[in-house]
């Protein structure tokens, strides 16, 4: 039976058309983009074309606003570190409690090692940002506000355009980690106040280890990776041309399939979600149901462990992902679900299904065939399970 891959927020399959576009740049066109001779110029043109493909997907005004990086993590780090250098007299960061570790662990590090003050803005039970708290945290000390466009676990979307305007009112820069949003929802950056944006190739059917940082024209920028003059002195290191070409092609394909994403893919996601809610008791969808990425659903099943569900689904050839992370031997719910105050008994059993344009109705049918039995089996083994609609037995650890 064909495996069912519903973990596209973790990574996507590289589109064969993308692979095709990359291949000549390993062999025929192997030149260094910075070289003056013909080998270099052929390659330089391809890098420029990729920059324009990303500019077009983002709705940015100029292609040189796009800097190629090694991925989402580097782009996030580069944005924050640059802001702290260029925004003189400002040494605070405003962010949310539900960012990816690419933001949160850098913030922690800066707090510990440089005394940077970090404001982590809470979210409500749907994962929506407390805008008043965000507004209050911004001040003349804020160097940068950084809030993700879409949450990787729940798909909840953040009002980044408004958040950018509020940051500007305080004289701060605004960055968004849009790694999960780019290619899934339309955007026109030229019409927003967003100063910087991170994206990653492998989330949109492009290669791994390549990404980009959009830096709006006129924003002062200091490089994170220092060395040669590549990327107009903003990111040193010989360009990874095949990956850059692949990322450009992936961006072009994402733009072409945007309609499919927001209609057909969303309909698949919605059918799966409705089917689960109907066929399995004592479960609910986490995140903001009305304001989410079209491809993501995160369902919390009471009184069982996400890891158990994943293992049993995996045996059936179905790949999804859980909201728990194995830390020091204990399975703790993710920081995102904890920030949303999802009851522990349910957060433990949260599963994320994330679709892409490569999924079809047969994938939804298969999960709906298999999942109710998996949940019933696991609950039959759970000492905490009392039956649908019954409160769980004593299983009441508190969040640290
Ligand atoms: N930001 C978000 C929201 C992500 O989901 C991810 C990847 O999971 C990253 C950043 C990191 O991107 P990369 O894997 O390209 O470093």
Closest CA to 135 of 153, 117, 149, 147: 147
Closest CA to 212 of 198, 231, 222: 198
254 in Cβ contact with 204 (< 8 Å)? yes
302 CA to centre of ligand 1 in angstroms: 28
Those residues with Cβ within 8 angstroms of residue 372's Cβ, 6 or more apart along the chain or in another chain = 279, 280
Would you state the pLDDT for residue 391?
59
234 CA to centre of ligand 1 in angstroms: 21
133 CA to centre of ligand 1 in angstroms: 26
Chain segment 189-227, per-residue pLDDT in tens: 999 999 999 999 999 999 999 999 999 999 999 999 999
Report the nearest atom of ligand 1 relative to the CA of 208: 15
DSSP-assigned letters across all residues of 130-184? -HHHHHHH--TTEEEEE--SB-TTT-BB--HHHHHHHHHHTT-EEEEE-TTTBTT
Chain segment 256-277, per-residue pLDDT in tens: 999 998 999 999 999 999 999 9
CA distance 368 to 372: 7
Task: Report CA dihedral (298, 299, 301, 302) to the nearest 10 degrees.
Answer: 80
- Over the chain, what is the mean pLDDT? 94
Is pLDDT at 134 greater than 50 in this prediction? Answer: yes
- Provide Rg for the chain, Cα atoms: 22
Q: Is 204 helix (H, G, I), strand (E, B) or coil?
A: coil
Joined together, the tokens standing for residue 293 give 């990425």
Report the nearest atom of ligand 1 relative to the CA of 150: 3
Report the nearest atom of ligand 1 relative to the CA of 200: 15
Show the beta-strand stretches assigned E in 186-262: 196-200, 211-215
CA distance 19 to 205: 10
Q: Hey, which of 8, 73, 198 would you mutate to test ligand 1's pocket, going by the most ligand atoms within 8 Å of its Cβ?
A: 73
Joined together, the tokens standing for residue 279 give 């066929």
Joined together, the tokens standing for residue 230 give 């590549």
Would you state the pLDDT for residue 387?
81
Q: Atom 10 of ligand 1 has which residue's CA nearest to it? A: 72
197 in Cβ contact with 175 (< 8 Å)? yes
Model pTM score = 0.96
Is pLDDT at 396 greater than 60 in this prediction? Answer: no
Report the nearest atom of ligand 1 relative to the CA of 75: 16
Chain segment 29-88, per-residue pLDDT in tens: 999 998 999 999 889 999 999 999 999 999 999 999 999 999 999 999 999 999 999 999
**How much is the average pLDDT of 292-317?**
96
**How much is the average pLDDT of 99-113?**
98
The angle, 0 to 180 degrees and rounded to 10, between the axes of the packed helices 306-315 and 361-381 is: 130
Closest CA to 239 of 32, 399, 383: 32
Chain segment 350-377, per-residue pLDDT in tens: 999 999 999 999 999 999 999 999 999 9
Would you state the pLDDT for residue 332?
81
Name all residues whose Cβ lies below 6 A of ligand 1: 71-73, 76, 100, 102, 148, 152, 177, 179-180, 200, 211
386 CA to centre of ligand 1 in angstroms: 38
Catalytic residues: 326
HSE-up (13 A, CA, CB side) for residue 349: 24
178 CA to centre of ligand 1 in angstroms: 9
């Amino acid at each position: 039976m064909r495996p069912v891959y519903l973990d596209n927020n973790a990574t996507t399959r590289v589109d064969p058309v993308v692979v095709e576009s990359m291949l000549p740049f390993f062999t025929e066109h192997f030149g260094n983009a910075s070289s003056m001779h013909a080998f270099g110029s052929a390659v330089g043109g391809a890098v420029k074309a990729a920059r324009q493909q990303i500019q077009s997907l983002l709705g940015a005004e100029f292609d040189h606003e796009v800097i190629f990086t090694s991925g989402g993590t580097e782009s996030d780090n580069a944005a924050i570190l640059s802001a702290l250098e260029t925004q003189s007299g400002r040494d605070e960061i405003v962010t949310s409690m539900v960012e990816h570790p690419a933001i949160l662990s850098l913030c922690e590090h800066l707090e510990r090692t440089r005394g940077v003050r970090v404001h982590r803005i809470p979210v409500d039970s749907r994962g929506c940002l407390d805008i008043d708290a965000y507004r209050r945290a911004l001040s003349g000390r804020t160097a940068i506000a950084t809030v993700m466009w879409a949450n990787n676990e729940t798909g909840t979307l953040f009002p980044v355009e408004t958040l950018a305007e509020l940051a500007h009112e305080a004289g701060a820069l605004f960055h968004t980690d849009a790694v999960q949003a780019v290619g899934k929802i339309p955007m026109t950056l030229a019409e927003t106040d967003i100063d910087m944006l991170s994206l990653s190739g492998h989330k949109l059917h492009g290669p791994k280890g390549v990404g980009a940082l959009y830096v709006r024209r006129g924003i002062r920028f200091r490089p994170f990776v220092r060395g040669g003059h590549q990327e107009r002195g903003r990111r040193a290191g010989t360009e990874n041309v095949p990956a850059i070409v692949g990322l450009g092609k992936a961006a072009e394909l994402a733009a072409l399939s945007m309609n499919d994403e927001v209609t057909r893919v969303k309909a698949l996601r919605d059918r799966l979600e409705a089917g689960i809610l109907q066929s399995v008791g004592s479960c609910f969808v986490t995140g903001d149901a009305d304001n989410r990425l079209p491809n993501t659903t995160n369902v919390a099943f009471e009184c069982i462990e996400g890891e158990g569900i994943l293992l049993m689904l995996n045996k059936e050839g179905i790949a999804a992902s859980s909201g728990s992370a194995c830390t020091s031997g204990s399975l703790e719910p993710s920081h995102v679900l904890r920030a949303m105050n999802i009851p522990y008994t349910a957060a433990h059993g949260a599963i994320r299904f994330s679709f892409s344009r490569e999924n079809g109705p047969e994938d939804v049918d298969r999960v709906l065939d298999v999942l109710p039995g998996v949940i019933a089996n696991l609950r039959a083994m759970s000492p905490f399970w009392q039956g649908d609609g019954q409160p769980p037995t004593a299983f009441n650890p508190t969040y640290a």
